[in-house]
Amino acid sequence: MTSNESGRRHTRDDVARTALRILDDDGLPDLTMRRLAAALDVQPSALYHHFPNKQTLLAELADRIVARAAQPASGLDWSDTVRAEAAALRDALLAYRDGAEVVSSTFALGLGAGAPLDRFTDAVTAGGFDDETARRAATALLHFVLGHVSHEQQRLQYDSLGVLADSASAEAGTDSAEAFAFGIDLLVGGLERVSRSRT
């Protein structure tokens, strides 16, 4: 359906694109190899010609999701660059249903989410911090972003199903973007108190 209307033969890119469409339309739980195969009008086993397993497919989707994060304007203060990177990453994750979950699940293996980590690391390094500090700050930033947006997206999902517990439902009412910015500000603020190797 992606590029071949009725004829067989798909490329790896077709498979990834169709998978992203299923993800966005129906969510991660419905993104099964069998459903993906059906959408491509192909047997499930055919998918294993393009990806060795589902995990590798999800890593590819994670890469594509984070690749759409906007580049911060140049000439910004290092701390504003960090804030801009965080906001851009959040927007990219929110652009696909369950986007944060996909990136999160893939991040642990060092397969996906390498790009966001590098971008945070570079932004912090520009503040004059040593490599170890920059890397640790970057993983803290990334953990917060993935956790926050995962939470945000799962609330959207459960809220639309009306299965949400009271406490979570109340929290969903407050502005997510503001709470997100606050968390990033805490990390950036904490970083500003850390001694720099060079200023």
Residue of 131, 144, 152 whose CA lies nearest to 188 = 144
Cβ 128 to DNA shortest distance, Å: 44
191-194: long-range contacts, CB 8 A cutoff, minimum separation 24: 191/79, 191/82, 191/124, 191/127, 191/129, 191/137, 192/79, 194/129, 194/133
Q: Which stretch binds a copy of itself (CB under 8 A): 28-36, 43-51, 85-93, 150-158?
A: 150-158
How remote is the C-alpha of 79 from its chain's centroid?
Answer: 21
Q: Does 196 bind DNA (CB under 7 A)?
A: no
Using CB under 8 A as the binding criterion, the count of chain residues that bind a copy of itself stands at 47
Q: Residue 53, interface with DNA (CB under 7 A)?
A: yes
- Nearest to 97, CA basis, from 1, 22, 172: 22
Q: From residue 61, how far is each of 23, 24, 75, 114 by CA, in Å?
A: 9, 11, 31, 13
Q: Which is nearer to DNA, 48 or 144 (CB)?
A: 48
48 contacts DNA (rule: CB under 7 A)? yes
Cα–Cα distance, 69 to 141 (Å, whole number) = 15
Comparing CB distances to DNA, the nearer of 53 and 197 is 53
168 binding a copy of itself? (CB under 8 A):
yes
3 interacts with DNA by CB under 7 A: no
For a copy of itself, the binding residues (CB under 8 A) are 104, 107-111, 114, 132-133, 135-137, 139-140, 142-144, 146-148, 150-151, 154-155, 158, 163-169, 171, 174, 179, 182-183, 185-194
